[in-house]
Amino acid sequence: MFFNKPEEVIAMTPLWEGERLEDGRPKVPASVLDRMRRLTLEEVWGLAYSQGFEFQTEAHLLTTHPTDTGHRLVGRAVTCVCVPFRQDLHDVATAESREFGFKGGYNKSAVDRLVEDDVMVVDLFDKIYYGTFFGGNLSTQVKNKTKRGGAVIWGGIRDLDQIKQIEGIQIYYRGVHPTPIRDYIMTGYNAPCRIGEAICMPGDVVFGSNEGVCFIPAHMAEKVVDSAEKSHLRDDFGFERLKQGVYSATQIDAMWSEEMWQDFLGWLETSEIAAPFKYLDWTEDVERAREIRENPEKARANWRGPRTDNPPAGSTVSGRSTI
């Protein structure tokens, strides 16, 4: 009902066809996670968004550590959903948690189940006063269990000075308070989880940087990394050519001409920056660029992906720009 068993996690993530963890979550390969650690949020966000996954990012969070590449938060999501305390629900949830294998408080028991490269994603309904899901002890255990993971908490933490001393961890959170955690119930473990305006599923790849967090569907993770690395290289090429005065900003930010594409492909062969990315295949990208130049209206229509209820680009819906 609340604490999902492996078969239930498998049922809610049917698009994943690869290896799974013991608890049923998709096991996105560690090699994909490692590639993602050198990217930016804008680079990893685009592909999923273009295919209709519009609610995967949240920026209104604080961080325990600097968000440079040394503290990128990347890992596989373990999700927890919580609600305010109510006695009758507490009795039901506590009994189920004990049957599931939890031996103590919800937060402690969930942390004790983490494995390497996990990231805890917790909807604590923005509770900060008596809503401190992590403190010094549990953050230390997160580090020990995940090695280089962390957490995203839509709620509070405590012992911030202690947490800042833990190297190789990153926690996104909403606020700090010295009070202990109380008056909450966990009603979802490895269940769909809301963080602000974003949704996270168990096994999603959690990506955190300066701009906030992004939850990448597991079945798209490898394609996302391929796309993001290509975006990263195009940006590096653009920065270099802008500094050299070869192209204007208008040219770099617009649809590239055939001559610019040929310049870029030549740059890929000689640039030290591009050397680690020799495995990327640009054949489809070059062909798609040609198709876009020949039929830009069709390409613009396809950008929004399979959804058909999107308004025309440039309009707004409920105050939210569609550009």
Q: What is the pLDDT along the chain (323 residues), one digit of tens a residue?
A: 899 999 999 999 999 999 999 999 999 999 999 999 989 999 999 999 999 999 999 999 999 999 876 668 999 999 999 999 999 999 999 999 999 999 989 999 999 999 999 999 999 999 999 999 999 999 999 999 999 989 999 999 999 999 999 998 999 999 999 999 999 999 999 999 999 999 999 999 999 999 999 999 999 999 999 999 999 999 999 999 999 999 999 999 988 999 999 999 999 999 999 999 999 999 999 998 888 888 877 666 655 444 434 443 333 333 333 33
- Residues paired with 188 in a beta bridge: 81
Within 10 Å of residue 240's Cβ, how many Cβ atoms? Answer: 13
Structural domain containing residue 160: 6-218
- Residue 311 falls within a domain, yes or no? no
Domain's final residue, options 197, 218, 239: 218
- Whose CA is closest to 151, among 206, 99, 84, 109? 206
Q: Identify the helix (H) or strand (E) that includes residue 286.
A: helix 283-294
- Residue 135 falls within a domain, yes or no? yes
- Residue 127 falls within a domain, yes or no? yes
Task: Show the beta-strand stretches assigned E in the chain.
Answer: 57-58, 62-63, 73-84, 118-134, 150-157, 170-173, 175-176, 184-189, 193-195, 198-200, 205-209, 212-216, 316-317, 320-321
- Residue 310 falls within a domain, yes or no? no
The three-point CA angle 160-40-162 to 5° equals 10
- Residue 322 falls within a domain, yes or no? no
Do both 78 and 186 map to the same domain? yes
> Which DSSP category does 36 fall into?
H
Q: What is the CATH number of the domain that holds 15?
A: 3.50.30.40
The pLDDT, as a whole number, for residue 190 is: 98
Within 10 Å of residue 30's Cβ, how many Cβ atoms? Answer: 12
Do both 213 and 229 map to the same domain? no
> Which DSSP category does 39 fall into?
S
Q: Could you tell me how far CA 285 lies from the centroid of its own chain?
A: 25
Do both 214 and 235 map to the same domain? no
Structure tokens at 4: 């999902």
- Residue 111 falls within a domain, yes or no? yes
User: What does the alpha-carbon distance between residue 302 and residue 305 come to, in Å, rounded to a whole number?
Assistant: 6
Do both 105 and 245 map to the same domain? no
Do both 211 and 110 map to the same domain? yes
Do both 168 and 266 map to the same domain? no
Within 10 Å of residue 93's Cβ, how many Cβ atoms? Answer: 23
- Residue 316 falls within a domain, yes or no? no
Structure tokens at 30: 């560690």
Q: Is the separation of the CB atoms in 56 and 227 below 8 Å?
A: no
* 201-to-141, 207, 264, 290 alpha-carbon distances in Å: 23, 13, 37, 36
Structure tokens at 27: 């096991």
Do both 214 and 151 map to the same domain? yes
Do both 183 and 227 map to the same domain? no
User: What does the alpha-carbon distance between residue 321 and residue 34 come to, in Å, rounded to a whole number?
Assistant: 33
Do both 25 and 143 map to the same domain? yes
Do both 121 and 228 map to the same domain? no
Question: Helix axis angle, 221-244 relative to 258-270, nearest 10°?
Answer: 100
Do both 289 and 144 map to the same domain? no
- Residue 60: phi, psi to the nearest 5? -85, 70
H/E/C letters for each residue in 245-300? Answer: CCCCHHHHHCCCCHHHHHHHHHHHHHCCCCHHHCCCCCHHHHHHHHHHHHCHHHHH
Count of structural domains within the chain: 2
Do both 266 and 191 map to the same domain? no
- Residue 312 falls within a domain, yes or no? no
The three-point CA angle 40-44-49 to 5° equals 135
